[in-house]
Amino acid sequence: MLIDLTPAHGPALAAFLADFAAAGEARIPAYFSDLDWPIERVVDAVSAWARGEQLGPGWVPCTTWFFEQGGDLLGVVNVRHHLTERLRHFGGHIGYSVRPSARGRGVATALLAATLPRVRAMGIQDVLLTCDPGNVASRRTIERNGGVLEDEALYAPEGKVVRTYWIRG
Ligand SMILES: CC(C)(COP(=O)(O)OP(=O)(O)OC[C@H]1O[C@@H](n2cnc3c(N)ncnc32)[C@H](O)[C@@H]1OP(=O)(O)O)[C@@H](O)C(=O)NCCC(=O)NCCS
């Protein structure tokens, strides 16, 4: 189930972030808050970004939801409200991460499936996703949700090859 983060999720968020740290993943795609922020600050920031406030340079308004099961946070998804030239080729509309201990059992596939109707409700019909060609799990997650490969090309500003997919509404 996709949920909005609330101050009551403090311990669950701490466990979620600790799971990435224990696996040695220093950067968590789709989670942008400082790892040391108290829960109130994270909740404030997430809601400000969705309103288009407190955005960092080059950011667009974005909405963040967590995938919750049995009181645990298993995944996070970030939806960008519109594309920039950069997001068009690198990042797309949606980014997601699943905590390492919950991977390989369908969480990302379910998370993306639950996100798509919400994205459509936000007025985005054709949804762009991008991923690294070597990220087989992300590729499969996108393909399982109806993603059609548009291109696999070098994105020169990052010096990286990126696959772009559309899930059309
Ligand atoms: C990519 C990621 C979100 C996938 O999460 P997940 O919950 O493990 O994915 P799922 O269990 O839903 O699996 C999705 C598909 O990938 C496959 N898969 C999962 N892990 C895999 C792996 N390590 N190698 C190959 N395929 C894998 C699954 O078999 C499934 O395919 P199938 O439906 O054809 O069987 C997760 O690995 C992650 O958080 N990675 C770091 C962040 C990231 O890369 N985010 C995406 C870019 S924004």
Residue 130 confidence class, pLDDT cut points 50, 70, 90: very high
Examine residue 150 and state whether it is found in any structural domain, yes or no: no
pLDDT at 46: 97
Q: Which residue minimizes the CA distance to atom 10 of ligand 1?
A: 106
How many A from CA of 51 to the centre of ligand 1? 30
Which residue among 141, 143, 145 is best mutated to probe the pocket of ligand 1, counting the most ligand atoms within 8 A of its Cβ? 141
Examine residue 71 and state whether it is found in any structural domain, yes or no: yes
Examine residue 128 and state whether it is found in any structural domain, yes or no: no
Which residue among 140, 142, 144, 158 is best mutated to probe the pocket of ligand 1, counting the most ligand atoms within 8 A of its Cβ? 140
Examine residue 7 and state whether it is found in any structural domain, yes or no: yes
Contact 49, 61 (CB under 8 A): yes
40-98 per-position pLDDT tens digit:
999 999 999 999 999 999 999 999 999 999 999 999 999 999 999 999 999 999 999 99
Distance CA 27, CA 45 (A): 18
Helices (H), ranges, the chain: 10-22, 39-50, 85-89, 107-121, 136-144
CATH number for the domain harbouring residue 87:
3.40.630.30
Examine residue 159 and state whether it is found in any structural domain, yes or no: no
Backbone Cα Rg of the chain: 15
φ/ψ of residue 159, rounded to 5: 65, 30
Residue 1 confidence class, pLDDT cut points 50, 70, 90: very high
Examine residue 89 and state whether it is found in any structural domain, yes or no: yes
pTM for this prediction:
0.97
3-34 per-position pLDDT tens digit:
999 999 999 999 999 999 999 998 999 999 99
Q: Which domain holds residue 49?
A: 2-123
Count of structural domains within the chain: 1
Examine residue 21 and state whether it is found in any structural domain, yes or no: yes
How many A from CA of 142 to the centre of ligand 1? 9
Examine residue 160 and state whether it is found in any structural domain, yes or no: no
pLDDT at 100: 98
25 CA closest ligand 1 atom index: 41
